[in-house]
Amino acid sequence: MQRREALTLIGATALSPLLSPLSAAERWRVGAGLHERAGTQAAGKALTPAQMALVTALADTILPKTDTPGAVEVGVPAFVDLLFAEWYPDPERTQLLAGLDSWDARCREARGKSFAELDAAGRASWLTQVDAAPGSPGTPEAAYGSLKSSIIFGYLTSRPVAEMQRTTPIIPGRFDGCVPVGGG
């Protein structure tokens, strides 16, 4: 199974606590609507320039461009900015953004640079080190977890990725249900 296929499987649960009152179809519409508006609005509704650089670097690290578009190419940073601005309640958003700043400060302490300033190998190394750390609400780890879920949600609900998913066969090849099973 490829990484992007795994993300597709978990994409439906991304942001579940935040969007829990909504059905899967409504969540999809929210994501698609945010993408449409994010492309026409100026960035910086919820994120500072430093936080936007962090989101962009993290999106590019988690879902880089390969033979398919990466998260940055499909507009995930602007999507996350709009998502944080419009869907998170003020206290939760404030706590989340402070957690992201703390998470980035830890990177600066450990690596001498902010996450956005690290090269690709440094980013991958830092994420390998901190990605598995669970975080209780209000911690930098929890903020990172929310950001990662937001990036995945934004990626999967973008038009180019949705088109790829729509045209990708779920079960490649054909199914022959009435064939004798060998062994004897």
Average pLDDT over residues 106-113: 93
> How many angstroms separate the CA atoms of 155 and 73, rounded?
10
Q: Does 99 reside within a domain?
A: yes
Range of the domain at 141: 46-165
> How many angstroms separate the CA atoms of 112 and 178, rounded?
62
Task: Give all strands (DSSP E) within the chain, no chain letters.
Answer: none
Q: Does 36 reside within a domain?
A: no
Residue 20 has pLDDT above 80, yes or no: no
Q: Which pLDDT score, from 0 to 100, does residue 150 have?
A: 92
Grade residue 31 by pLDDT with cuts at 50, 70 and 90: confident
Residue 101 has pLDDT above 60, yes or no: yes
Which among 149, 170, 166 has a CA at the least distance from the CA of 11? 149
Rounded to the nearest integer, the mean pLDDT of the chain is 81
Q: Does 172 reside within a domain?
A: no
Q: Which pLDDT score, from 0 to 100, does residue 10 have?
A: 47
Angle at 22 between CA 16 and CA 25, to 5 degrees: 100
For 132-171, write each residue's pLDDT tens digit: 777 777 788 888 888 998 999 999 999 888 888 777 666 6
Q: Does 20 reside within a domain?
A: no
- Structurally, how many domains does the chain consist of? 1
Q: Which pLDDT score, from 0 to 100, does residue 16 have?
A: 46
Average pLDDT over residues 92-116: 92
